[in-house]
């Protein structure tokens, strides 16, 4: 009896689960694309994310980070393996049904410069997810204003167009856009890599603030160990399309098990300040 | 930046350029003429091809105060005919370009947005049409459904839409890979909303500029079809038809002994095409930074 | 000591199509001694790349200049006149930001060396290949690289090739504009260490431009911090890192996430001012927690008593 209950609880807690996922892109185009020839990017990925967790997926360029995100968000059907989002096999569903599940994911894309349509106002961009839900205009307006207030953006920003905004502002707008439909999972793809140091710190603080208020599940994809340390409790190290290490982030940083992770961590310490202790300890 | 403000900025910046100003002036004159031509033509009915009662007395007269452009072999006032032809010219060029743009844009954008088999099929379909010259289609239509304005427009549209489709496809292909389209897809918007809002909006400027620069070529090709007698029937107020009549009735002598028959319609074709090109060139430079040069600052 | 680079009230701006001038640097005073590793730190839009390209002699033709710039006592920028004859490529060389787009994809690495050495030193093909091999081994690449085309090399290798090219032309100053920004994290350290080692070995003056204060502190002797087109603080690396005198520098240090120590990040709210508008007050005024009345007048570069340290802040004593 107890075991059954435990099983139920566990099932409810797993929001995302990847089982032996192998994914890749077709190598042939045109009519030949019916032939199933792939270049494999991800190999046998097993990954579970529970509710309310903060997870980081760490990897260098070319390690398959973005492909993994595409698989999780229902944009790329894996060659092999199963993807469960909220216990449902999303790739067994048609796109219309799949989108209903995917909507629970708020996605903040990598490049804040290509993620906003240059011809639409910020308000239009933010209200798009609500519009897709079929809400009334007044409700949309109200919720957009609330969300903008929540992340500390001025209301005037709503009527500006993206090219009037700086990178940091754009990133905030994208975070608002991801949050406005009240998602249960927040996926951040390199949330700070395009930003300057001080703006990066602002965004990191903002994201931590959001987490402490909303307790949404957060998945951060990054190449930067230091950023991951601030935004996650558990980490997966991705290397050449497979997970080379997994565990609590503090343990990975202090006591890496694989040779690759050790090298990665070490190279960070090399580029750190000469004497760490004297920095920022007031 | 919203679409209207973008256009107003383009206009503001370009209006400083002389050639853009000349182009706008020429085009405005042509468009105004096309509207008021029947009102200011001295012999409106002759403009539409009716032979006047006293035709035999005024055949092939050189330009004079009574007939500013002279008269043709049937005694009609050439000035009235050329002037009335302005309207046909504008209708032909604009409708051919508009219809081709619309058809081509929809097919090209769909090919780029719906990947996979739809993309491949639509692309092959487009390429098929790129291989057909408009004059051959006009010849075929002339033999099957006869003469008329619709023959000119249909044959040109069939030959031209594929080019817009290709241009729209290339531009849209880069747009659909951008994150804002992915975001819209993920939030569950339907393709019917995403395509106009995100894709067409962002390629529209490039396509419009291409369309404006093609207006001149469309007019040239329409005149060519008419000149070969495949489009509008003889007597129609159209510059190609006027040239066709001059050549069929007078042969090479038209050039030697009554040059006004070819010079004036030719001049109008030239000026209209020039006007369209002078507008389009600066616009295209705006769009493509590689063409932009800052001579003033370089030296 | 000979001054390698000296800038006096250097202003560089760009004019756009609407004939508005954006001043990217707004009166920079700078002096770098020969053989020094000097670093310019700043966030995007602070004018650091413009300053670097002015020193390397690669300003675009439509840039406007004011003030003076000397390179080894030769006047290269005198108000609006620019004359880089005998300097560009011969005294100063640039290691660009993006190695992938800086190498010609149709030339082999050997050809790159040959064309550059032929122009700079008038060498023949065989001589330049010999020199190329020597310098490639210095940066840790084999001679098989000479036959390869740039796309066959990884980003890190391309950057090494560019370093070798810069060194092979035996310049006296190397300007490196964000040399590691497009390289993976675990290669960054290698490249930076290599660069600083070689610079010391060949006694070249290094001008490193970066947004990364941490890696700058690793390899540079002195640091200049730029904000909104102005140098706001210069000094020895150790003194900047341990005792920042300007509130902006301090904020930068406080907002770098450090691995292993979960200190809280304390960025100040707000963003750098736009460079289109003209201001006469301290550019950091609106974000500064130490703001006083005097800040509406521009603060001068004030020397700090006991060290070679300059800071552009009225209240630097309270900051540190």
The CATH number that applies at residue B175 is 1.10.3720.10
The 8-class DSSP code of residue C7 comes to E
Our CA-based measurement puts residue B179 at a distance from the nearest CA of chain A, in whole angstroms, of: 5
Closest CA to C195 of C39, C34, C2, C72: C39
Residue located via tokens 């880089």: C84
Query: Does B178 sit within 8 Å of A114, measured CB to CB?
Result: yes
pLDDT at B288: 64
* Residue B283 domain flag: yes
- Residue C42: how many CB atoms within 10 A of its CB? 28
Residue A267, pLDDT above cutoff 90:
no
Query: Does C212 sit within 8 Å of A197, measured CB to CB?
Result: yes
Q: Which of C106-110, C140-144, C189-193 has the lowest mean pLDDT?
A: C189-193
Chain C residues in contact with A224 (beta carbon < 8 A): 185, 257
> Is any Cβ of chain B less than 8 angstroms from the Cβ of C19?
no
Structure tokens, B126: 């487009």
Chain A residues in contact with B6 (beta carbon < 8 A): 119
Mean pLDDT (chain C, rounded): 86
Q: CA of C114: how far to CAs of B201, C153, C168, in Å?
A: 49, 19, 11
**pLDDT tens-digit map of A145-183:** 999 998 888 898 999 888 888 888 899 999 999 999 889
> Is any Cβ of chain B less than 8 angstroms from the Cβ of C62?
yes
Q: What percent of chain C has pLDDT over 90?
A: 29
* Residue B298 domain flag: no
pLDDT at A147: 92
pLDDT at B50: 84
**pLDDT tens-digit map of A191-202:** 888 788 888 899
* Residue B299 domain flag: no
pTM for the whole thing? 0.84
**Rounded CA separation B164/B148 (Å):** 25
Domain housing B244:
3-292
**pLDDT tens-digit map of B25-46:** 999 999 999 999 888 888 888 8
Our CA-based measurement puts residue A243 at a distance from the nearest CA of chain B, in whole angstroms, of: 26
Our CA-based measurement puts residue C204 at a distance from the nearest CA of chain A, in whole angstroms, of: 22
The 8-class DSSP code of residue C165 comes to H
pLDDT at B296: 36
In degrees, rounded to 5, the angle at the alpha carbon of residue C242 between the alpha carbons of residues C280 and C311 is 20
Beta pairing class for C302-303 and C173-177: unpaired
In degrees, rounded to 5, the angle at the alpha carbon of residue A174 between the alpha carbons of residues C269 and B187 is 160
Number of inter-chain CB pairs under 8 A, B vs C: 8
Q: Which residues contact B274 (CB under 8 A, 6 or more apart)?
A: B23, B26, B216
* Residue B43 domain flag: yes
Residue C158, pLDDT above cutoff 80:
yes
Q: Which residue of A has its CA nearest to C183?
A: A61
Q: Determine the number of helices (DSSP H) and then strands (DSSP E) in chain C.
A: 10, 13
Q: Which of B38-47, B231-240, C215-224, C267-276 has the lowest mean pLDDT?
A: C267-276
Sign of CA dihedral B262, B264, B270, B276: negative
Range picked from A8-22, A240-254, C256-270 for highest mean pLDDT: A240-254
pLDDT at B62: 85
**pLDDT tens-digit map of C84-112:** 888 888 899 998 888 888 899 999 999 99
C positions 215-274 inside 8 Å of B (CB): none
> Is any Cβ of chain A less than 8 angstroms from the Cβ of B182?
yes
Calculate mean pLDDT across residues B128-142: 91
Is the separation of the CB atoms in B33 and B295 below 8 Å?
A: no
Query: Does C260 sit within 8 Å of A197, measured CB to CB?
Result: no
Q: Which of B14-18, B30-34, B48-52, C175-179 has the lowest mean pLDDT?
A: B14-18
Calculate mean pLDDT across residues A35-41: 82
> Is any Cβ of chain A less than 8 angstroms from the Cβ of C213?
yes
**Rounded CA separation A47/A16 (Å):** 8
Chain C residues in contact with A270 (beta carbon < 8 A): 189, 193, 218
Residue C306, pLDDT above cutoff 80:
no
Residue B222, pLDDT above cutoff 90:
yes
> What are the E-state strand segments in chain B?
none
The 8-class DSSP code of residue B195 comes to I
Q: Which of B85-89, B180-184, C84-88, C98-102 has the lowest mean pLDDT?
A: C98-102
Candidates 2.40.30.10, 1.10.760.10, 3.40.50.300, 3.40.50.920; correct CATH number of C3-86+222-319? Answer: 3.40.50.300
Alpha helices in C30-108 (DSSP H): 48-56, 99-102
pLDDT at B182: 92
Chain A residues in contact with C251 (beta carbon < 8 A): 198
* Residue B297 domain flag: no
Residue A279, pLDDT above cutoff 60:
no
pLDDT higher at C263 or C234:
C234
How many structural domains is chain B composed of? Answer: 1
Our CA-based measurement puts residue B16 at a distance from the nearest CA of chain A, in whole angstroms, of: 25
In chain C, where the domains are located: 3-86+222-319
Closest CA to C196 of C55, C38, C3: C38
> Which subunits count as partners of chain B given 3+ CB pairs below 8 Å?
A, C
């Amino acid at each position: 009896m107890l075991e059954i209950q435990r099983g139920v609880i566990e099932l409810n807690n797993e929001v995302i689960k990847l089982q032996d996922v192998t994914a890749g892109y077709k190598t042939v185009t045109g009519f030949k694309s019916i032939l199933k020839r792939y270049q494999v990017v991800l190999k046998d990925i097993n990954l579970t994310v529970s509710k309310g967790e903060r997870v980081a997926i760490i990897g260098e360029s070319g390690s398959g980070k973005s492909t993994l995100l595409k698989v999780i968000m229902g944009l790329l059907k894996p060659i092999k393996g199963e993807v469960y989002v909220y216990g449902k096999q999303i790739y067994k569903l048609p796109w219309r049904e799949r989108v209903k599940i995917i909507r629970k994911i708020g996605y903040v894309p990598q490049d804040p410069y290509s993620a906003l349509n240059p011809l639409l106002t910020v308000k239009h961009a933010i209200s798009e997810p609500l519009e897709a839900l079929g809400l009334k205009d007044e409700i949309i307006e109200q919720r957009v204003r609330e969300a903008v207030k929540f992340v500390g953006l001025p209301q005037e920003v709503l009527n500006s167009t993206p090219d009037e905004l700086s990178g940091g502002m754009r990133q905030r707008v994208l975070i608002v856009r991801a949050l406005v439909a009240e998602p249960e999972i927040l996926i951040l793809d390199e949330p700070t890599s395009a930003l300057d140091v001080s703006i990066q710190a602002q965004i990191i603080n903002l994201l931590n603030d959001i987490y402490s208020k909303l307790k949404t599940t957060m998945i951060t994809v990054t190449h930067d160990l230091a950023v991951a340390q601030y935004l996650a409790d558990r980490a997966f190290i991705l290397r050449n399309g497979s997970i080379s290490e997994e565990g609590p982030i503090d343990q990975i940083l202090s006591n890496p098990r694989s040779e690759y992770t050790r090298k990665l961590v070490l190279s960070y310490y090399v580029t750190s300040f000469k004497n760490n202790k004297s920095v920022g300890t007031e | 930046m919203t679409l209207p403000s973008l256009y107003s900025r383009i206009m503001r910046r370009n209006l400083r350029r002389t050639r853009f100003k000349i182009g706008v002036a020429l085009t405005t004159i042509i468009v105004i003429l096309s509207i008021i031509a029947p009102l200011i033509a001295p012999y409106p009915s002759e403009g539409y091809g009716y032979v006047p009662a006293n035709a035999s007395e005024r055949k092939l007269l050189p330009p004079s105060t009574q007939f500013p452009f002279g008269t043709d072999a049937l005694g009609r006032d050439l000035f009235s005919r050329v002037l009335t032809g302005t309207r046909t010219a504008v209708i032909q060029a604009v409708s051919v370009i508009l219809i081709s743009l619309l058809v081509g844009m929809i097919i090209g954008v769909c090919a780029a947005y719906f990947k996979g088999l739809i993309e491949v099929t639509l692309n092959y379909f487009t390429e098929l049409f790129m291989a057909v010259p408009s004059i051959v289609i006009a010849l075929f239509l002339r033999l099957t459904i006869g003469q008329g304005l619709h023959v000119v427009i249909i044959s040109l549209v069939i030959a031209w839409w594929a080019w817009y489709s290709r241009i729209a496809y290339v531009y849209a292909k880069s747009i659909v890979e951008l994150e804002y389209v992915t975001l819209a897809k993920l939030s569950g918007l339907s393709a019917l909303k995403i395509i106009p809002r995100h894709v067409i909006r962002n390629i529209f400027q490039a396509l419009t500029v291409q369309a404006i620069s093609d207006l001149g070529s469309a007019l040239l090709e329409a005149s060519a079809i008419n000149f070969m007698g495949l489009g509008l029937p003889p007597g129609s107020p159209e510059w190609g038809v006027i040239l066709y009549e001059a050549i069929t009735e007078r042969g090479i002598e038209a050039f030697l002994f009554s040059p006004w028959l070819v010079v004036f319609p030719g001049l109008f074709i030239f000026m209209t095409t020039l006007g369209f090109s002078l507008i389009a060139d600066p616009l295209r430079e705006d769009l493509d930074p590689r063409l932009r040069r800052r001579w003033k600052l370089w030296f | 000591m000979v001054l390698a680079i000296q800038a006096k009230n250097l202003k560089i701006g760009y004019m756009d199509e609407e004939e508005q001038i954006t001043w990217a640097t707004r009166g920079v005073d700078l002096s770098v001694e020969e053989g020094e590793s000097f670093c310019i730190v700043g966030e995007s839009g602070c004018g650091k790349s413009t300053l670097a390209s002015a020193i390397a002699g690669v300003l675009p033709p439509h840039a406007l200049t004011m003030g003076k710039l000397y390179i080894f006592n030769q006047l290269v920028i005198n108000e609006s006149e620019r004359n880089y004859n005998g300097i560009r490529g011969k005294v100063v060389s640039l290691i660009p930001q993006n190695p992938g787009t800086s190498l010609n994809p149709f030339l082999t690495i050997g050809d790159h060396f040959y064309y550059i050495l032929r122009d700079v030193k008038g060498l023949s093909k065989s001589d330049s290949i010999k020199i190329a091999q020597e310098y490639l081994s210095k940066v840790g690449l084999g001679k098989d690289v000479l036959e390869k085309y740039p796309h066959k090399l990884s980003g890190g290798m391309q950057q090494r090739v560019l370093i070798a090219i810069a060194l092979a032309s035996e310049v006296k100053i190397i300007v490196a504009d964000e040399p590691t920004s497009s390289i993976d994290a675990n290669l960054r350290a290698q490249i930076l260490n290599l660069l600083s080692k070689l610079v010391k070995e060949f006694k070249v003056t290094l001008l490193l431009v970066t947004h990364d204060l941490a890696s700058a502190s690793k390899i540079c002797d002195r640091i200049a911090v730029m904000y909104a087109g102005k140098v706001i603080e210069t000094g020895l690396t150790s003194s900047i890192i341990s005792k920042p005198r300007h509130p902006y520098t301090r904020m930068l240090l406080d907002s770098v996430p450090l691995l292993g120590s979960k200190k809280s990040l304390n960025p100040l709210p707000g963003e750098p001012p736009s460079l289109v508008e003209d201001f006469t007050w301290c550019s950091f005024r609106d974000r500064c927690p130490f703001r006083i009345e005097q800040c509406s007048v521009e603060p001068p570069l004030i020397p700090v008593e006991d060290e070679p340290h300059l800071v552009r802040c009225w209240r630097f004593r309270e900051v540190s």
